[in-house]
């Protein structure tokens, strides 16, 4: 080590030293400045990277969304058309829906004349009810009965008065056979029909029957009277109530 020389103090008083020695305190300040500079450079690198990567990611995301929406638009299937009615736990191959019905002209329309399957049977039954051709007391009767006694509950409608003038479908349900659950030709289709009757007084009567049609033979296997109306309602009162 060299000994301190007096002229060194003189030199320290001249620029650039000005009597400031490079001691521990100055070293700490230098180290702090170095760390600050390193952090600044690191932030600068991250800023430049983010400035490049973020716009690129946004562009890729936008392109992906556009292609996805365009593909979904191109491949979107057409909305399904009217299908089978689903009621009562089964699939029913029927075109007649709850709420359908009307007078003899409605049931005899060209659309109903071309009905098939169990619907064809119900169209035939509705026409027979309004024409009073059930055949309980003889006379014409459609061939829609699985057995002669099936039509016996319709005895009250095979008379001259009151007569059925309108028939409406309130419900359509299915009964499936346990053996072939997936075969639409097995089991039965059950129609709940609302019958409107009138007489010459004039009075209006509203009754309901349940008709079971075999999906295999298209024959009526069961008929049940659901509700009957022996009192009736005056025609003007009924029309006023119905118009509300």
Write the DSSP symbol of residue 18.
T
Q: Check residue 189 and give its pLDDT.
A: 96
Q: Check residue 131 and give its pLDDT.
A: 95
Q: Output the DSSP codes for 109-177.
A: SHHHHT--HHHHHHHHHHHHHHHT---TTSS---S-BSSGGGGGGGGGGSSSSSEEEEEEEEEEEEE--
Please state the pTM of the whole predicted model. Answer: 0.61
pLDDT tens figures, 28-46: 666 677 677 666 666 666 5
pLDDT tens figures, 76-95: 444 443 344 444 444 444 58
Q: What are the CA-CA distances from residue 54 to residues 25, 45, 57, 60, 85 (Å)?
A: 43, 14, 5, 10, 54
Q: Check residue 8 and give its pLDDT.
A: 62
Q: Check residue 242 and give its pLDDT.
A: 79
Residues of the chain with confidence (pLDDT) below 50: 1, 71-93, 179
- Residue linked to tokens 């936008």: 62
Q: Check residue 92 and give its pLDDT.
A: 46
Q: Check residue 72 and give its pLDDT.
A: 44
Contact (CB, 8 A) for 174 and 244: no
Q: Check residue 243 and give its pLDDT.
A: 78
Q: Check residue 77 and give its pLDDT.
A: 44
Q: What are the CA-CA distances from residue 74 to residues 69, 70, 77, 81 (Å)?
A: 9, 6, 9, 19
């Amino acid at each position: 080590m060299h000994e301190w020389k007096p002229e060194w103090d003189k030199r320290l008083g001249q620029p650039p030293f000005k009597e400031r020695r490079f001691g521990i305190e100055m070293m700490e300040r230098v180290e702090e400045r170095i760390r600050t500079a390193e952090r600044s450079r690191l932030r600068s690198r991250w800023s430049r990277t983010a400035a490049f990567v973020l716009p690129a990611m946004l562009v890729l995301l936008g392109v992906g969304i556009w292609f996805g929406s365009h593909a979904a638009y191109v491949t979107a299937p057409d909305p399904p058309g009217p299908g089978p009615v689903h009621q009562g736990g089964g699939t029913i191959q029927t075109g007649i829906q709850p709420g359908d019905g009307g007078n003899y002209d409605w049931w005899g329309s060209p659309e109903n004349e071309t009905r098939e399957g169990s619907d064809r049977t119900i169209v035939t039954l509705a026409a027979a009810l309004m024409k009073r051709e059930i055949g309980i007391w003889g006379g014409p009767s459609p061939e829609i009965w699985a057995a002669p006694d099936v039509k016996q509950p319709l005895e009250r409608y095979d008379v001259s008065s009151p007569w059925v003038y309108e028939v409406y479908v309130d419900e359509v349900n299915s009964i499936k056979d346990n053996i072939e659950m997936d075969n639409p030709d097995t089991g039965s289709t059950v129609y709940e029909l609302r019958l409107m009757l009138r007489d010459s007084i004039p009075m209006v009567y509203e009754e309901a029957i349940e008709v079971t049609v075999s999906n295999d033979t298209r024959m009526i296997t069961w008929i049940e009277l659901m509700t009957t109306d022996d009192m009736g309602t005056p025609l003007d009162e009924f029309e006023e109530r119905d118009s509300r």
